[in-house]
Structure 1
Amino acid sequence: MKRVALCVALIGVVICLITGCKFKDPSIPGHSGKPMLSFKKVEGITFTEVRRQQNGLSFNEYGYHLSPDWRLRFVSSDSVALYSPVKKRFLNFPLSCGIDSVFNTNRSFLRMKHMSKDSLVFELLEAKDDSLDIRGTKVYMLFYADNYIKNVLHTNAATLQRSNRKDSLFVKQLIKRADSSLTNAFAALTPVRLTSTRSSITVKKKKTIADFLLNNYNTSDDYMNPVYNITINKADSDFDYAFSAYVDKEGKLIYNTPITPFTEGRYKQRYVRLSKAIMNTYLKLYVKVQPGQTLGVPHTTLISLYLHGKKS
């Protein structure tokens, strides 16, 4: 019965978001009679995100870069235009505004923290399963109006989006830790680059195709979890191995652990021995490794390697 009641309550909240009703449930403290959020006073103004911050930083401890990549324009009370870098034009998306400054668009829940004709500040909210954490993620999206950037700040969005001194100091600490221990390796904003020096060996890095409609044009996994498929033709035997490896700041490959799941025992020992031998021969001899970098500084990072050997 409790689960049924919870589902009914959530359905009620969703209906309020979609229909624009006022939420007047006195059982929820502070929610009674709260006005609906409206973007009427900024409709028609084009805003560009210039900063996405978590505790004042654009990076977290895993090297994830909170990249500012939204451009938007509120069209009406139930529609917002979002810029697609793939289609190179604005596309209209449904806009659902709710109480407590919360709204939803393009599969994202956000809370409006500041709104003026010059700037906007939104806080990202985390939605999981059938619940929404209204406590917030402490990740804030800062937008400036295009007209404000050009005619008041006399600059451009690219300049405003650059990493600042606070970011640089934070990244330097991450690099210092990564260089002291492999286990402190973090994702490089400019990933490791592997280049074959032999025609019989091909290297292909897995690349996410940005699609505004399908994955919110988020390609961060390309540097957070870099994957490389390496085919070795004219090998001594046919084989397939998958394992992770560290790449230190000098570009040295250091074996980490198999990716392929299997039980402990002799098979795993043999797998590690053979895959490590291939890394220490074919890869170290015939594949040039350029270490990953963040803000122009090389550092230790972790990559995944899928090796395919073809004897014929």
Structure 2
Amino acid sequence: MSAKYKTALLLLIATISTITACKYRGVGPGHGEKPIISFKSVEGITFIEVSRKQKSNGLSYNEYGYHLTPDWRLRFVSADSAALYSPVKDAFFNFPLALGTDSVFNIAHAFLKMKKMSKDSLVFELLEAQGDSIDIHKSRVVMRLFSEDYIKNKLHTDFKDLQRASKNDTLFVRGLVTKADADIKKAFAASQPVQMVSKKPFVTVVKRKTKPSLLDNKYATDDDYLTPVYDIVIHKAYQDFDYSFEATIDSAGTWHYNKPLVPFLGDEQVKDNYIKVSTAVMNTYLKLFITTLPGETLGMKHASTISVNVKGLTAAK
């Protein structure tokens, strides 16, 4: 074990020990004697997350379209390390595992509290962290994982089937779609964001993508669908220009201008002109030369908001 690895592990253990001790101080007798959690009984077993839900209502979606995506694959390697799977690298990577009292542990920057543990399944809650402290009594998310053997040989299914949205999730999202169709101001993030396809060679469209990082515990790049950003370049434009604005794409793929995304420092005349010209760019170049497909969630098309950076160049491509 490297010195850097040992240092990180000791810091994590010290942090959890201090935090849990502080939280239990004065709560009642016997709390300080709770044993440190052990994963010895499930070491070497690969667990796959099959659901991640809000503790309050059992849903995986919220009113803003944020989806609690079950994307963990976890294997406890030893008393002080666990492995997490990276879909980008298609491999497991070991991380320091810090163990605390009352079933609290830390891995890859996440503080978790084990609720149920067996060789078939794990259930734990994601604890809320603020700075260098956590509240071991407060959690909003419940994560459930099944072992590969349990999924294959006992449930006789595939983990992707288990990860599908529940009936309640579907009903909830359908309700959001209905509201967004009736009032575009109630647009919400689409799990499958807006797609743009250029109709002309002199127009290019690139959707920005966040690079996932296993070290930052970001398997899913949520910003890619919660706040999608598109960079559009138009060659042979009537003049050089550069505009950034927010727009909503409705369920029919129609553009609706929302607001500019640059500051104006109180100059209303400049702001009004910016809005006027950038709206004209949207209504001409973008609507005429780009096929816009609306965002979808669970197969349902709906209004969603995007950010656009449009650059016009008089020179040909």
TM-score when normalising by structure 2: 0.90
Read off the aligned partner of 1:87 and give its amino acid letter.
Answer: K
Contact conserved, 2:98 with 2:106, CA < 8 A, in 1?
yes
SS at match of 1:308: strand
> Judging changes above 3 Å, is the alpha-carbon distance between structure 1 residues 117 and 189 closer, same or farther for their aligned structure 2 residues?
same
> Can you list the C-alpha shifts for 1:171-226, whole angstroms capped at 9, x where unaligned?
01110111111221100111100111111110000011223234522311111111
Q: CA deviation at 1:12?
A: 10
Q: How does 1:39-50 map to 2 (within 5 A)?
A: 39-50=39-50
Read off the aligned partner of 1:93 and give its amino acid letter.
Answer: F
Contact conserved, 2:12 with 2:106, CA < 8 A, in 1?
no
In structure 2, the residue matched to 1:56 is 58
In structure 2, the residue matched to 1:7 is none
Cα root mean square deviation, aligned: 2.2
Q: Distance in 1 between matches of 2:104 and 2:17?
A: 12
Q: Distance in 2 between matches of 1:25 and 1:242?
A: 47
SS at match of 1:134: strand
> Which stretch shows the higher mean deviation, 28-37 or 143-152?
28-37
Q: Distance in 2 between matches of 1:184 and 1:26?
A: 43
Q: Distance in 2 between matches of 1:239 and 1:134?
A: 53
Contact conserved, 1:121 with 1:143, CA < 8 A, in 2?
yes
In structure 1, the residue matched to 2:109 is 107
> Judging changes above 3 Å, is the alpha-carbon distance between structure 1 residues 117 and 200 closer, same or farther for their aligned structure 2 residues?
same
Contact conserved, 1:246 with 1:302, CA < 8 A, in 2?
yes
SS at match of 1:112: strand
Read off the aligned partner of 2:279 and give its amino acid letter.
Answer: K
Contact conserved, 1:24 with 1:32, CA < 8 A, in 2?
no
Contact conserved, 2:13 with 2:98, CA < 8 A, in 1?
no
In structure 2, the residue matched to 1:90 is 92
> Can you list the C-alpha shifts for 1:233-268, whole angstroms capped at 9, x where unaligned?
111111111000010000000000011122231010
In structure 2, the residue matched to 1:248 is 250
Contact conserved, 1:251 with 1:289, CA < 8 A, in 2?
yes
In structure 1, the residue matched to 2:147 is 145
Read off the aligned partner of 1:51 and give its amino acid letter.
Answer: S
Residue 38 of structure 2 corresponds to residue 38 of structure 1? yes
Q: Distance in 2 between matches of 1:306 and 1:171?
A: 29
> Can you list the C-alpha shifts for 1:279-299, whole angstroms capped at 9, x where unaligned?
011011111110001111100
Q: CA deviation at 1:76?
A: 1.1
Residue 294 of structure 2 corresponds to residue 295 of structure 1? no
Pick the aligned partner of 1:266 from 263, 266, 269. Answer: 269
In structure 2, the residue matched to 1:29 is 27
SS at match of 1:195: strand
Q: Distance in 2 between matches of 1:132 and 1:103?
A: 11
Read off the aligned partner of 2:160 and give its amino acid letter.
Answer: A
Read off the aligned partner of 1:56 and give its amino acid letter.
Answer: G
SS at match of 2:275: helix
Q: Distance in 1 between matches of 2:230 and 2:263?
A: 18
Q: CA deviation at 1:125?
A: 1.1
Q: CA deviation at 1:14?
A: 5.1
> Judging changes above 3 Å, is the alpha-carbon distance between structure 1 residues 280 and 39 closer, same or farther for their aligned structure 2 residues?
same
> Judging changes above 3 Å, is the alpha-carbon distance between structure 1 residues 206 and 215 closer, same or farther for their aligned structure 2 residues?
farther
Contact conserved, 2:69 with 2:220, CA < 8 A, in 1?
no
> Judging changes above 3 Å, is the alpha-carbon distance between structure 1 residues 27 and 161 closer, same or farther for their aligned structure 2 residues?
closer
Pick the aligned partner of 1:80 from 76, 79, 82. Answer: 82
Q: CA deviation at 1:17?
A: 3.5
Q: CA deviation at 1:28?
A: 3.1
In structure 1, the residue matched to 2:164 is 162
Read off the aligned partner of 2:307 and give its amino acid letter.
Answer: S
SS at match of 1:235: coil
> Judging changes above 3 Å, is the alpha-carbon distance between structure 1 residues 16 and 44 closer, same or farther for their aligned structure 2 residues?
same
Q: CA deviation at 1:29?
A: 1.1
Read off the aligned partner of 1:227 and give its amino acid letter.
Answer: V
Read off the aligned partner of 1:283 and give its amino acid letter.
Answer: L
> Judging changes above 3 Å, is the alpha-carbon distance between structure 1 residues 12 and 307 closer, same or farther for their aligned structure 2 residues?
closer
SS at match of 1:104: strand
Q: Which runs of 5+ in 2 are unaligned?
A: 1-9
SS at match of 1:138: strand
Equivalences, count: 301
Contact conserved, 2:255 with 2:287, CA < 8 A, in 1?
yes
